[in-house]
Amino acid sequence: MAAISISNVKKRYGALQALDGVSLTIEQGEFFGLLGPNGAGKTTLISIVAGLNRADSGAVAIHGHDTVTDYRNARRLLGVVPQELVFDPFFTVRETLRMQSGYFGLKKNDDWIDEVMHHLDLTGKAETNTRALSGGMKRRVLVAQALVHKPPVIVLDEPTAGVDVELRQTLWKFISRLNREGHTVVLTTHYLEEAQALCNRIAMLKSGKVVALDSTSALIRRISGSQLVVSLEQGTLPEELKPLVSHPDELVSGHKFTLRITDYREVEPILVRLREAGVVIGDMQLHQADLEDVFIQIMGNEK
């Protein structure tokens, strides 16, 4: 049975069609990425999956439990880390996590609460009031809150937006461990290198529609080849190399060029040609196509 099945979900805000018939099936045990530019509909979709928002039409089920008609069972299977930092500021971290456990009917949950706090480096803040925490620490509490009932499906909406490298590493280590132990993870992020490193499959959303859905490696293979980036200290780019330039703006500015190549063997003849033309290279880099290139290409093509 699918971890999350989303069937033809539509949502409109006034004149704006925020979700325009989204269908996705996320299997149990996947580490799934939901990517898209600002306003694509990611948070709207996640809030519908979490039962916090109602779709106009279509349906979502978590392990077969409909998020509307069988909300309690669906909610129990789901741990959601929201994008916004919202807390009741009068409680300590431990009290907050105990209350969240109580919400799921878990009374003796302290061992797991301690383990979650340990893995998120929150133990030292257990007795601190949530209002006195820094933004990064608050985000750790949000993650801990989502995990108190050991949900088989974990959904994270931009959990690393604006947080430091240390928290990102701590968080991904813990979430990856939970994924290895069988938890399904769904992630939205604007950090494409993070999605590339973590997600086995990715959906790209634009203007409320799924515009790409494939394994991460298959998406990256769509972009064949690499780029040779050269900065010229002296001289100008020979005419016959101009068709290789990826960004037309570079022909205007005239000193740094991103040249498309399909094979590393093409590098040497390019360098020979530059030398013959009297060019002095100030800086040079080889850039392998990555998820960011795929994202830019797909988002650019899908008007």
Ligand X SMILES: Nc1ncnc2c1ncn2[C@@H]1O[C@H](COP(=O)(O)OP(=O)(O)OP(=O)(O)O)[C@@H](O)[C@H]1O
Q: Which residues bind ligand X (CB under 6 A)?
A: 13, 16, 18, 36, 38-44
Q: Which is nearer to ligand X, 44 or 179 (CB)?
A: 44
In angstroms, give the least distance from the CB of 41 to ligand X: 4
Please enumerate in sequence order all residues whose Cβ is within 8 A of that of 135, keeping only pairs 6 or more positions apart, or say none. 85, 162, 163
Q: Which is nearer to ligand X, 184 or 189 (CB)?
A: 189
Q: Which is nearer to ligand X, 35 or 167 (CB)?
A: 35
The sign of the torsion formed by the CA atoms of 210, 76, 157, 13 equals positive
Give the C-alpha separation, 11 to 227, whole Å. Answer: 40
In angstroms, give the least distance from the CB of 101 to ligand X: 29
Cβ atoms of residues 279 and 236 within 8 Å:
yes
In angstroms, give the least distance from the CB of 38 to ligand X: 3
Cβ atoms of residues 131 and 89 within 8 Å:
yes
Name the nearest CA neighbour of 83 among 55, 105, 52.
Answer: 52
In angstroms, give the least distance from the CB of 287 to ligand X: 26
In angstroms, give the least distance from the CB of 188 to ligand X: 7
Please enumerate in sequence order all residues whose Cβ is within 8 A of that of 50, keeping only pairs 6 or more positions apart, or say none. 67, 75, 78, 80, 155
Q: Which is nearer to ligand X, 22 or 122 (CB)?
A: 22
Give the C-alpha separation, 95 to 141, whole Å. Answer: 11
Q: Which is nearer to ligand X, 53 or 123 (CB)?
A: 53
In angstroms, give the least distance from the CB of 157 to ligand X: 7
Cβ atoms of residues 22 and 6 within 8 Å:
yes
Q: Which is nearer to ligand X, 148 or 199 (CB)?
A: 199
Read off the tokens for 5.
């099945």
Strands (E), 101-183: 153-157
Q: Which is nearer to ligand X, 120 or 203 (CB)?
A: 203
In angstroms, give the least distance from the CB of 195 to ligand X: 13
Number of H helices, E strands in the chain: 11, 13
26 Rama sector, left if φ>0, alpha if ψ -120 to 50, beta otherwise: beta
